[in-house]
Amino acid sequence: MLKSCYERLLVADNHPWLNDTHWVDHPPTRSTFPSITASPVRKKRKQSQLQQQPEELPEHKTGSARTEGIYKVDSKQKQQHKFTFHKELASTKPAVAVQSLAERESSKVKATQTSVSREVRSFQRRLLTAFGNEATESELLKFNQLKFRKKQLKFGKSRIHDWGLFAMEPIAADEMVIEYVGQTIRSIMADLREVNYEKMGIGSSYLFRIDVENIIDATKCGNLARFINHSCNPNCYAKIVNLENRKKIVIYSKQPIQCGEEITYDYKFPIEDEKIVCLCGAPQCKGTLN
């Protein structure tokens, strides 16, 4: 149709611009589209999914979950449905993967970060050696050591309990991870705040005891260190350091920590009659925190 109209315009010779153009046939196209006309391909389920048995659902007194009302789900039962829990189980299965370019680049970045951390520690040791005994009593050098040895961390959903703290870079053994920051209060004030927090519905405890009289409260004024969960087999430990005539709580790595691994330490709660269930999942788990 268009080609015949173009030829008639050439014969009429009423448009001089037609002499500067020429007709080009369009390549043939398909008249049918299989993606539209063909029936959709049905995906087959994996044999493992077909063999998987449905989970046992809890029995409700009223006969239905909608008419049961609000009820508290057991923490162990809730843990089975956590995304991060299944994700870690899947990651523990043996799998052979080809190392991509992005993985190689990330490994180079990790190696660079490790070398920089070693250089900083070496520089601090040279300063301590140069100053001698005066350096051991210098609070400025101690503060610089804590400042330069901070690690890259992030908080996220944990398989142990709600939120947790995770490493974003490889951490060697006996290295500073993070400082536990909060309000320093007396033991009497800590007892009152603990009762008030329970009334407000704040179930998690962010009170860290420094000594017999002083306690650090990180409930409302704290940093990422308050998200560290308890474990009966922890990869970190807490240490009290004296800086500027004040006691500070610093978390150190107990063993090498890989990137993405959760930071944990032992809470060391005193023994009480009312037990707190431990959900760390360690092979040598004690069962309770206290």
CATH of the domain at 277: 2.170.270.10
- Write the Ramachandran bin of 127: left for phi over 0, alpha for psi from -120 to 50, otherwise beta: alpha
User: Does 29 fall in a domain?
Assistant: no
User: Does 168 fall in a domain?
Assistant: yes
- Pick from 181, 170, 263, 166: which is nearest to 219 by CA? 181
* Beta carbons within 10 angstroms of residue 249's beta carbon: 19
Measure the CA–CA gap between 151 and 167, rounded to whole angstroms: 8
Among the listed ranges 20-29, 163-172, 179-188, which one has the minimum average pLDDT value?
A: 20-29
Mean predicted confidence (pLDDT) in 261-266: 92
3-state secondary structure of 49: helix
User: Does 194 fall in a domain?
Assistant: yes
Among the listed ranges 67-76, 85-94, 119-128, 178-187, which one has the minimum average pLDDT value?
A: 85-94
Can you give the pLDDT at residue 80? Answer: 65
Can you give the pLDDT at residue 32? Answer: 54
3-state secondary structure of 105: helix
Together in a domain, 170 and 259:
yes
pLDDT of 225 strictly over 80: yes
User: Does 160 fall in a domain?
Assistant: yes
Can you give the pLDDT at residue 166? Answer: 94
Together in a domain, 157 and 134:
no
Together in a domain, 236 and 289:
yes
Q: Which of 49-63, 131-145, 180-194, 234-248 has the highest mean pLDDT?
A: 180-194
Together in a domain, 263 and 234:
yes
Can you give the pLDDT at residue 97? Answer: 46
Can you give the pLDDT at residue 262? Answer: 92
Together in a domain, 134 and 154:
no
Q: Which residue has the tokens 């998690």?
A: 204
More confident residue, 279 or 116: 279
User: Does 36 fall in a domain?
Assistant: no
User: Does 218 fall in a domain?
Assistant: yes
User: Does 45 fall in a domain?
Assistant: no
Together in a domain, 132 and 155:
no
- Pick from 209, 190, 200, 179: which is nearest to 270 by CA? 209
More confident residue, 94 or 153: 153
Residues, the chain? 290
Measure the CA–CA gap between 192 and 185, rounded to whole angstroms: 11
Can you give the pLDDT at residue 173? Answer: 87
Together in a domain, 240 and 133:
no
User: Does 110 fall in a domain?
Assistant: yes
Residue 110's domain comprises: 102-149
Together in a domain, 171 and 238:
yes
Written as one letter, the residue type at 53 is: Q
Together in a domain, 279 and 187:
no
222 burial type by CB count under 10 A (0-12 exposed, 13-18 middle, 19+ buried)? middle
pLDDT of 236 strictly over 90: yes
In order, the DSSP letters of 186-201 are: EHHHHHHHHHHHHHHT
Together in a domain, 171 and 283:
yes
Together in a domain, 139 and 268:
no
Query: Sorting pLDDT into bands at 50, 70 and 90, what band is 167?
Result: very high
Number of compact structural domains in the chain: 3
pLDDT of 158 strictly over 80: yes
The β-bridge partners of 238 are: 251
Together in a domain, 124 and 190:
no
Q: What is the DSSP letter of 88?
A: H
More confident residue, 217 or 60: 217
